A and B are shown apart, each in its own frame.
Chain A
């Protein structure tokens, strides 16, 4: 969880600015994360931190992507914590990790003053005088040498204190990378341990969020219900797709993917799906034969019954908003993102949304808060004050809607909701149990905000 926060803040604020630092400190403090290195007496918290780090190593060593993400976040966190260290603590730390670099003497520094100044961009002449410069062997300073941002002197790189973090980060990255490779090799042995296996699986998935591919609710939906469901419990994107399918008896590929996988997520079996699409397409220009030859294959493919047999997961909001924008004749995508505001307004009016509601939605759309707009849509169509959870996934919308309509939960604001807690790794939850409930909404907010900021950078 800490790392997710690190990632979000890294997107939101320019890394290294004061805003970033104070926000990170704030978040870490909330999590009771021992952010004051070597000074905190909280053995327990630090122990938890260590344990969770190693557990994360197990969870994230499995693929190149996961490793890269993990290393990136750990490095950002490390950089932050290292920069917070005072000089004597830096010295202590260097000794502790056995990176015994000596600073150059005052005389040498005086002699090389001008050269040091000219070789370290970003360092004023005063800083050159104040800061210590360390003698680093060439192999440890490669990144600085490659871009010529350091003075080389008879086989050593003379690195100022403020760049030491680069040297150490490199060292850390190399060590972490090697460790992950080793971890991956010992993974099979670990995975067979029953205690760890569910935890590990959950961890790397919770990075993406629940993917709704688990067929817990298969077979609970009947085809006759779909029309009604599309009005009551579908998010607006799927409602639009369903309507287009009924009207045109056809959907293009993008639409078939997005809607088809959604249907799988809400519980439609392969047989049901085939019947559903077939019966609709036949009403249009496609005859039964053509359907069986062409479209049936790809439906089966979606269910993992063809080709490489990947069981495709329904698209999350992020994915729908960010990839594959619709063109003329397409009905997929996110209407809040992809529809023209005028058309969106008309559509909402046709869905009998109040005009105040519509203006609220349009405001959010203008601010590019597409998921918040959809949340508002949920609130308006379900007549609740507060949706009670951050919306990330169309299937989540559906599940929550169904719950609400069948009286499965309270209408008012909730603190710890199953929907939101699914977004955190449960191991962190048990470890940071005291802070879990209070921070769940905040953390989710941060995540959501982080996403919005991401669009702002477009």
Chain B
């Protein structure tokens, strides 16, 4: 992937990698002439974590030899990091680094909304969604043109994609006004697909007074909508009914100004929350896909967005489960050794015999798509130039 055919010479050599070694030693500005060299180093150093950074103007391992200002990040994939911890104020089942099947829906929603925007609005073709290994997802956007995007453009895109604004001291984090941009309305339609199941049933955000007070805090008190609902809610049976009541009242309340209360609540509870810093900088390093997460042991696997709903973070292999599987496979081999004919005893690549296989397949498809696109581009260009 890092060295798909057709990339200019020296591209790989100018890519920065970083390793996290034993005892939390962190080394940056690692670079390698060829992929084989990277592989060798990985086997030698056995880092806990590998991060991928930008492609620089010069080999990162030599950056100290250059005068200041000469060593610049030139290209990098556009990356996104969505972290469940950022939703702590709106999920009731877990907090901080914990996740469960109930709140995982937030990631599903985030991927659907962001992916739609990437493809339909930003014109992205090659993107890889990856499970971070613990509590979130990453996205790697690899289109050639996107790799060249400036820091300020990335920053503008992050602003475009952000709707939930404010920290711990802000109660109401989403404000909508006329006209509602298609990005928002399309995202809302996606949220609506999940809202009842996720928020009303799963999270039960209107299930008890403590919960619904948090929701009502987002409802305006002029006209006295909040008071009215505070009175009505206890009389209703469950979140579903209470939400229906809220919807009914908020749409009829304001005659002149359109009210977006209902939508603002849905967005505050479900809309993706990005870590802007990860996306804005050209020199930001992000964990490589297929790394092992140091705290959970889970592998950072690509997510098949065609089968997004079926993705289960808890079914993702851990390093220990993989090792076990490999050992079992080896034992099998030993048993078969005498039976099979040496020539046909071809060593199947190890990982294909583990539960990592399907995830690798996703990755391979992704890379194949990119290669195909690049070949097509090269052909097109050479046609234009008349070389055959």
Contact = CB atoms under 8 A, between A and B. Distances in A.
Interface of A: 115, 117-119, 121, 138-139, 142-143, 145-148, 151-156
A119 B182 contact: yes
A117 B178 CA distance: 11
Contacts of B160: 145-146, 148, 152
B96 interface: no
B156 interface: yes
A139 B151 CA distance: 10
Given A142-B152, A145-B160, A118 B122 contact: no
B112 to A, nearest CB: 17
A139 B181 contact: no
Given A115-B182, A117-B179, A147-B159, A153 B153 contact: no
Contact of A118 (B124, B153, B156, B182): B182
A115 B121 CA distance: 12
A111 to B, nearest CB: 13
Contacts of B159: 145-148
B365 interface: no
A142 B153 contact: yes
B180 interface: yes
Given A138-B122, A155-B122, A118 B157 contact: no
B123 A142 contact: no
Contacts of A145: 156-157, 159-160
Interface in B133-161: 145, 149-150, 152-153, 155-157, 159-160
Interface in B171-193: 178-185
Interface of B: 119-124, 145, 149-150, 152-153, 155-157, 159-160, 178-185
A121 B149 CA distance: 27
A115 B183 CA distance: 9
A142 B150 CA distance: 11
B111 to A, nearest CB: 19
22 contacts: A118-B179, A118-B181, A118-B182, A118-B185, A119-B179, A119-B183, A121-B178, A121-B179, A138-B122, A138-B157, A139-B149, A145-B159, A145-B160, A146-B155, A146-B160, A147-B159, A152-B121, A152-B122, A152-B160, A153-B121, A154-B122, A156-B123
Contacts of B182: 115, 118-119, 151
A154 B120 contact: yes
A119 B150 contact: no
Contacts of A146: 155-156, 159-160
Contacts of A148: 159-160, 181, 183-184
A438 B205 CA distance: 74
Nearest to A139: B153
A139 B121 contact: no
Q: 4 closest Cβ contacts across the A-B interface?
A: A155-B123, A152-B121, A154-B123, A146-B156
Contacts of A117: 179
Contacts of A155: 122-124, 145
Contacts of B149: 138-139
Contacts of A121: 178-179
A359 to B, nearest CB: 50
Given A117-B179, A145-B156, A155-B124, 7 more contacts: A118-B182, A118-B185, A119-B182, A121-B179, A146-B159, A151-B182, A154-B122
Contacts of A119: 179, 181-183
A110 to B, nearest CB: 16
A145 B178 CA distance: 17
Given A146-B160, A153-B121, A154-B120, A138 B185 contact: no
B184 to A, nearest CB: 8
A153 B155 CA distance: 19
A115 B180 CA distance: 10
A155 B156 CA distance: 14
Contacts of B155: 146
Nearest to A155: B123
Contacts of B185: 118
A354 to B, nearest CB: 58
Contacts of A151: 181-182
Nearest to A148: B181
Nearest to A120: B179
Contacts of A138: 122, 149, 153, 157
Nearest to A149: B181
A454 B150 CA distance: 39
A146 B157 CA distance: 6
